[in-house]
């Protein structure tokens, strides 16, 4: 026997879901940057699809006005103060990104590669190992060595023309919620695509294309100085 449950949701819940599912809309609304009447007209089709019935704009506006203020807004001053106290920003250019499928021999080749570049301090290199694949980001100066030492591994992707920005984080960074979101949100607002994200306990590195490095640096500098 098959049972079909028809779960009806309220207009308020439909509005909350519609706003929550739209990137950045919730924050812009809370900051008073969106006209509620215009927003109601914009999201009305989505609300009606969720409810499977017609609704009035006035009922949507009423639901919008009753939305609770997100708790994250109360943490913003502390978060902004944390960002203001970030350490130096280090940029690197002429990077390449290699991603290999994990294998039983990958670690061996990784060790050989690190020994080969160990004496050359001009070569920047970082490894990020996942469950199924490993990414190597290296200065283009050492790219030929990747080709040599990993020639027997399965290459999934290869990207060139990359740059990175490394942020030095205060020791209390693990106790601040929303930091990564705060950084990535502002970069996304500017249309900056992140190729890779690398983090250690006290460092946070973003990898972007060469053509976007200046724009990304400007955004992060503005955040650090509290201009965003």
Q: Contact, 183 vs 100, CB < 8 A?
A: no
Least confident of 76-80, 89-93, 151-155, 158-162: 76-80
* 93 and 160 both lie in a single domain: yes
CATH number of residue 142's parent domain: 3.30.2130.10
In a domain, 159, yes or no: yes
* 127 and 17 both lie in a single domain: no
Structural domain boundaries enclosing 36: 11-69
In a domain, 1, yes or no: no
* 29 and 61 both lie in a single domain: yes
pLDDT tens digits for 134-168? 999 999 999 999 999 999 999 999 999 999 999 88
* 137 and 220 both lie in a single domain: yes
* 46 and 88 both lie in a single domain: no
Angstrom CA distances, 138 to 76, 99, 135, stand at 36, 11, 10
* 54 and 90 both lie in a single domain: no
* 91 and 56 both lie in a single domain: no
b/e burial code for range 116-148 (CB count within 10 A of at least 16 → b): ebeeeeebbbbeeeeeeebbbbbbeebbebbee
Q: What is the pLDDT of residue 3?
A: 36
Is residue 5 very low, low, confident or very high in pLDDT (cuts 50, 70, 90)?
Answer: very low
Say if residue 213 is exposed, middle or buried (CB neighbours under 10 Å; 0-12, 13-18, 19+): buried
In a domain, 2, yes or no: no
Q: What is the largest distance, in Å, between two alpha-carbon atoms of the chain? A: 71
In a domain, 184, yes or no: yes
- Nearest of 14, 39, 37 to residue 28 by alpha carbon: 39
Please, where are the H alpha helices in the chain?
11-20, 25-30, 36-51, 57-65, 72-84, 106-117, 143-149, 179-189, 213-224
Q: Read off the pLDDT of each residue in 208-224 and give the average, rounded to a whole number.
A: 92
Please give the tally of structural domains in the chain.
Answer: 2
pLDDT tens digits for 6-51? 345 788 888 888 887 776 677 677 667 788 888 889 889 999 998 8
* 115 and 49 both lie in a single domain: no
Q: What is the pLDDT of residue 6?
A: 38
Q: Contact, 16 vs 29, CB < 8 A?
A: no
In a domain, 189, yes or no: yes
In a domain, 218, yes or no: yes
Residue 194: pLDDT above 90?
Answer: yes
Rounded to 10 deg, the angle between the 213-224 and 179-189 helix axes is 130
* 106 and 24 both lie in a single domain: no
* 96 and 209 both lie in a single domain: yes
* 115 and 17 both lie in a single domain: no
* 89 and 162 both lie in a single domain: yes
Q: Contact, 23 vs 72, CB < 8 A?
A: no
Average pLDDT, the chain: 84
């Amino acid at each position: 026997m098959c049972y079909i449950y028809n779960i009806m949701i309220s207009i308020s819940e439909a509005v909350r879901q519609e706003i929550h599912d739209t990137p950045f809309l919730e924050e812009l609304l809370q900051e008073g940057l969106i006209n509620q009447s215009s927003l109601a007209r914009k999201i009305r089709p989505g609300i009606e699809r969720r409810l499977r019935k017609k609704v009035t704009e006035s009922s949507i506006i009423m639901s919008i006005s009753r939305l609770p203020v997100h708790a994250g807004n109360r943490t913003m001053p502390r978060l902004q103060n944390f960002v203001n106290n970030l350490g130096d920003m280090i940029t690197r250019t002429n990077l390449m990104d290699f991603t290999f499928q994990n294998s039983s021999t990958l670690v061996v080749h990784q060790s050989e590669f690190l020994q080969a570049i160990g004496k050359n301090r001009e070569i920047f290199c970082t490894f990020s190992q996942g469950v199924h694949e490993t990414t190597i980001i290296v200065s283009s100066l050492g790219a030929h060595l990747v080709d040599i030492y990993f020639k027997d591994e399965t290459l999934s992707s290869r990207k060139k023309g990359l740059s990175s920005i490394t942020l030095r984080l205060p020791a209390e960074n693990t106790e601040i919620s929303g930091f990564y979101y705060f950084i990535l949100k502002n970069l996304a607002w500017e249309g900056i695509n992140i190729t890779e994200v690398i983090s250690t306990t006290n460092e946070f590195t973003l990898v972007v294309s060469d053509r976007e490095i200046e724009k990304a640096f400007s955004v992060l500098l503005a955040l650090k100085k509290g201009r965003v």
